[in-house]
């Protein structure tokens, strides 16, 4: 639940709707379908003008494609002009050949129609086992619909897309799904066998979010506890019961204040329970602050922050939401906060990108990045002062060609090199500086997050 709330709140959407593909309402749905997909680079076709800004959704869709080899397209309509949404989605997926640019029929289509208040996910042949109808119906009903009901269409699509990405990531991590495998990429074939689900949703009617005013006998159950562990377990019990919101004494006053307009869904609460089920954690407390830490390998399980007052321990969601952020694969990136000393004192450290590690197990550190919103550039735009890369002689504007024996195309290969080579190793980095090629020997160091 935390990760989806935090990510949606953190979405700063700033690209204008005018770049969302074909935004002119189609005069005929049939002819619109028959036209070829304008571009494989475009994945959002917002004919209903619901997505005012699209940059964040585009980033989610690009992530799904680059790391999972899944091609997903979003299409909205003002109305379906009497056409059936199931037929429309199946036809669009096949006629637009969504998934053609994967090595298999790995396409997903999301269709939304305002007038009929319907949504439909159409799933490509090679993804049916990853996204069965039961799962698709679940995320539509219990994740997307509550956002739509509060007229937060864009957030609803984003939050649902995060669950699609998380599902693919789970299969990859368990080695149940190999993005490079393919089966049915045959010319002229149908791209879907009808798998997916549709859902009636509230789109046209704005509703004030339900504040879930629970009676006092329920509220009295969720109060500060004598230990941090008891408080955390009570929060998980609340999720199991699908009791929404943070308007309980179990949470800090700041948490209750900032969360007044948040949307809480059953799917978020189910995720909170499922992600942490069976996973061991440790509790560290000092004075009036405490942290609950899961094994660092569980990237989708962030630490919990707790504060003690005269009634007991409360969960500090407010600080968590400001300092813990999730990437598009639902991995927690942890920023500095007043809880940081507890990590240091108990043998934890962080990588430069905020991943938690036990001290001594962290990756090597170069101090250089080419990240510019995508993974497709290897030109240095960030160089940390006194970092190994700077001390070796690299400059902003250098284009990295190779790190050790790894050919670099973008940020992904730089991170791969930091994970491959060890702290203390000397690694050759080849760069292009203008028209000149240069090579630098860089001694890798450990990143110190506590400076």
Give the tens place of pLDDT for each residue, 51-105.
877 887 888 888 888 888 899 999 999 999 999 999 999 989 888 989 888 877 8
CATH class of 2-200: alpha beta
| Statement: residue 14 has pLDDT above 60 | no
11 confidence band (pLDDT: 50, 70, 90): very low
**What mean pLDDT, rounded, does the chain reach?**
85
For residues 145 and 86, what is the distance between their CA atoms, to the nearest angstrom?
A: 18
| Statement: residue 341 has pLDDT above 50 | yes
The percentage of residues in the chain with a pLDDT greater than 70, rounded to a whole number, is 88
Per-domain residue ranges of the chain: 2-200, 216-358, 368-443
Residue 98 contacts residue 73 (beta carbons within 8 Å): yes
188 confidence band (pLDDT: 50, 70, 90): low
Stretch among 1-10, 325-334, 340-349, 392-401 having the lowest mean pLDDT: 1-10
Residue 316 has what pLDDT? Answer: 97
Read off the pLDDT of residues 274-311 as tens digits, 9 standing for 90 and up: 889 999 999 999 999 999 999 999 998 999 999 999 99
Q: Quick one: average pLDDT of 188-193?
A: 68
pTM strictly above 0.85: no
| Domain boundaries 368-443, corresponding CATH code | 2.30.42.10
1 confidence band (pLDDT: 50, 70, 90): very low
């Amino acid at each position: 639940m935390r990760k989806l709330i935090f990510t949606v709140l953190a979405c700063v959407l700033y690209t204008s709707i005018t770049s969302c593909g074909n935004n002119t309402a189609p005069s005929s749905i049939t002819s619109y379908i028959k036209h070829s997909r304008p571009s494989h680079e475009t994945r959002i076709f917002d004919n209903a003008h619901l997505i005012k800004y699209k940059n964040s959704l585009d980033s989610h869709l690009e992530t799904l494609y680059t790391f999972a080899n899944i091609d997903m397209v979003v299409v909205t309509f003002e109305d379906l002009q009497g056409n059936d949404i199931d037929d429309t989605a199946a036809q669009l997926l096949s006629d637009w050949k969504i998934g053609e640019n994967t090595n298999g029929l790995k396409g997903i289509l999301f269709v939304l129609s305002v007038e009929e208040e319907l949504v439909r996910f159409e799933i490509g042949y090679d993804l049916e086992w990853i996204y069965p109808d039961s799962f698709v119906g679940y995320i539509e009903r219990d994740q997307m619909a509550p956002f739509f009901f509060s007229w937060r269409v864009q957030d609803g699509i984003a939050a649902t897309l995060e669950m699609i990405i998380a599902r693919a990531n789970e299969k990859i991590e368990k080695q149940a799904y190999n993005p490079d495998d393919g089966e049915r990429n045959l010319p002229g074939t149908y791209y879907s066998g009808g798998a997916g689900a549709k859902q009636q949703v509230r789109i046209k009617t704005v509703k004030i979010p339900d504040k879930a005013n629970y009676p006092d006998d329920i509220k009295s159950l969720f109060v500060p506890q004598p230990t941090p562990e008891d408080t955390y377990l009570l929060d998980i019990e609340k999720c199991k019961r699908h009791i929404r919101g943070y308007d309980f004494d179990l949470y800090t006053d700041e948490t209750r204040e900032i969360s007044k307009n948040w949307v809480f869904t059953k799917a978020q609460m189910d995720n909170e329970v499922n992600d942490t089920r069976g996973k061991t954690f440790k509790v560290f407390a000092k004075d009036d602050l405490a942290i609950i830490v899961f094994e660092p390998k569980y990237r989708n399980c962030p630490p919990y922050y707790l504060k003690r007052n005269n009634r007991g321990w409360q969960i500090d969601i407010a600080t968590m939401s400001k300092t813990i952020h999730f990437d598009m694969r639902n991995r927690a990136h942890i920023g500095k906060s007043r809880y940081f000393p507890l990590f240091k004192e108990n043998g934890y450290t962080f990588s430069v990108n905020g991943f938690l590690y036990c001290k001594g197990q962290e990756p090597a550190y170069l101090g250089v990045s080419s990240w510019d919103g995508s993974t497709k550039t290897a030109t240095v735009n960030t160089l940390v002062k006194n970092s190994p890369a700077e001390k070796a002689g690299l400059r902003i504007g250098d284009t990295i060609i190779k790190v050790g024996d790894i050919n670099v195309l973008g940020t992904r290969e730089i991170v791969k090199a930091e994970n491959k080579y060890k702290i203390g190793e000397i690694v050759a980095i080849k760069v292009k500086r203008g028209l000149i090629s240069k090579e630098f020997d860089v001694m890798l160091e450990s990143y110190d997050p506590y400076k």
